[in-house]
Structure 1
Amino acid sequence: MTRTIEYILDLAAPNGYLAWYPLKAIAERTGAELVVTPVFLGGMHKLTGNAPPMFRDKDVKGKVAYAALEFQRFLDRHGMSDFCMHPALPFNSILLQRILVAAQDEDERRALVDALQPAVWERNIDCGDVDAVRGVLEEGGFDADRLLAGTQEAEVKQKLIDNTSHAVERGAFGIPTVFVGKEMWFGKERLGQIEDYLSGGKP
């Protein structure tokens, strides 16, 4: 039976970009199906009391600098030379997240993540600018009118809220979070553990 890797994702999280590509490779190597559950990170932080690490850890001597070192090590190890930290971070990702919810199926949702990740974290588009986002969608061959119209639908808005609250109820508090069944992993540093688990190892 095919295992499912559920990726809890907000495109506003830089670590969400970093984990996306290795996670896709893990899914391919293990024969698992990768599905994306879009959530709103701002809402998740509000529900859990969490905060972006650069704010949460700013008064801890040495911790932010070490986090930056580990971040760069990950980029180097995975050859992510095109990554560029977004100058507007933290920014509002509600438009992008609603687009992911509005996808017509899981295949389109994964394709949207593939198109939007580099737009956000390599080209640093204005994620709240509808015209800029439309350009990315059209460039990727998506039906931009359908997807952007979907972001205004009450059902899509509510689904994003529900996804966020449900993820928190299951234990999620930040991005990237991965579920395989009821097992949860947080952080890009856990990718090896996820692959071990899918390959028959203990969690």
Structure 2
Amino acid sequence: MSQAVEFIFDFAAPNGYLAWYPLQEIVARTGANLLVTPVFLGGMHKLTGNSPPMVRDAGVKGKVEYAALEFTRFLDRHGLSQFSMHPALPFNSILVQRLLIASDDEIHRQSLVNTLLPAIWERNIDCTDVAAVGDELTNGGFDARGLLERTQTDTVKQRLAENTSRAVERGAFGIPTFFVGEEMWFGKERLVQLESYLSGGKP
């Protein structure tokens, strides 16, 4: 029976973009099933007391610069040449996260991720601009009007809040976080460990 890899995900995290594409390759190689759990990173930070690395580590001499170096190395290693750091970072992702919650099923949700990730992290669209997001949905073949209307329902809003709280209760504090059962990994640097585990290794 195939194992399920749960990706705790928010479009607002650049490392979520970086992890997404290598993760597809890992899932293909190991035969695992991928599940995307949308959360609100801003809410996660509030619940855990966490903050973006560039903010959290600003006072540590050399750490932000080294993180930028490793970030560039990861892009080069995985051929992610189209990535462009969003000028509005950190930005409010609640609209696009609610879109993921409003998705009909897992395949549809992952198709949304594949459509919106390049728009956000390559073309740097404004995630708070309903018209801009709607254009991306329409161009991607989605029912933009229907999805956007569903983002305003109490059910979708509540489910996103519940996903966020539940992820924190399980130990998550940032993006990207991965779960296989109750085993957790945090960070794009843990993808090698995740693949090893899926292939029969230790966590």
TM > 0.5 between the two? yes
Q: Which deviations, in whole Å up to 9, do the C-alpha atoms of 1:71-123 show, x marking residues without a partner?
A: 00000000011000000000000000000000000000000000010000000
**4+ long deviations beyond 4 Å:** none
| 1:32-111 alignment, distance < 5 Å | 32-111=32-111
Cα-Cα RMSD: 0.4
How far does residue 145 in structure 1 lie from its aligned partner after superposition? 1.1
Q: Distance between the aligned counterparts of 1:106 and 1:147, measured in 2?
A: 15
Q: Distance between the aligned counterparts of 2:149 and 2:180, measured in 1?
A: 32
Give SS of 2:50's match: coil
Q: Distance between the aligned counterparts of 1:25 and 1:114, measured in 2?
A: 14
One-letter amino acid matched to 1:170: R
One-letter amino acid matched to 1:21: Y
| 1:154-193 alignment, distance < 5 Å | 154-193=154-193
One-letter amino acid matched to 1:98: R
Give SS of 1:142's match: coil
TM-score (norm 1): 1.00
Q: Distance between the aligned counterparts of 1:124 and 1:21, measured in 2?
A: 18
One-letter amino acid matched to 2:8: I
**Structure 1 residue aligned with 2:115:** 115
How far does residue 162 in structure 1 lie from its aligned partner after superposition? 0.2
Q: Distance between the aligned counterparts of 1:183 and 1:120, measured in 2?
A: 30
Structure 2 unaligned spans of 5+: none
- Percent of counterpart pairs with the same letter? 71
Q: Distance between the aligned counterparts of 2:62 and 2:2, measured in 1?
A: 43
TM-score (norm 2): 1.00
How far does residue 2 in structure 1 lie from its aligned partner after superposition? 1.1
Q: Distance between the aligned counterparts of 1:27 and 1:150, measured in 2?
A: 30
How far does residue 44 in structure 1 lie from its aligned partner after superposition? 0.1
Q: Which deviations, in whole Å up to 9, do the C-alpha atoms of 1:16-54 show, x marking residues without a partner?
A: 000000011101110001010000000000000000000
Q: Distance between the aligned counterparts of 2:97 and 2:153, measured in 1?
A: 13
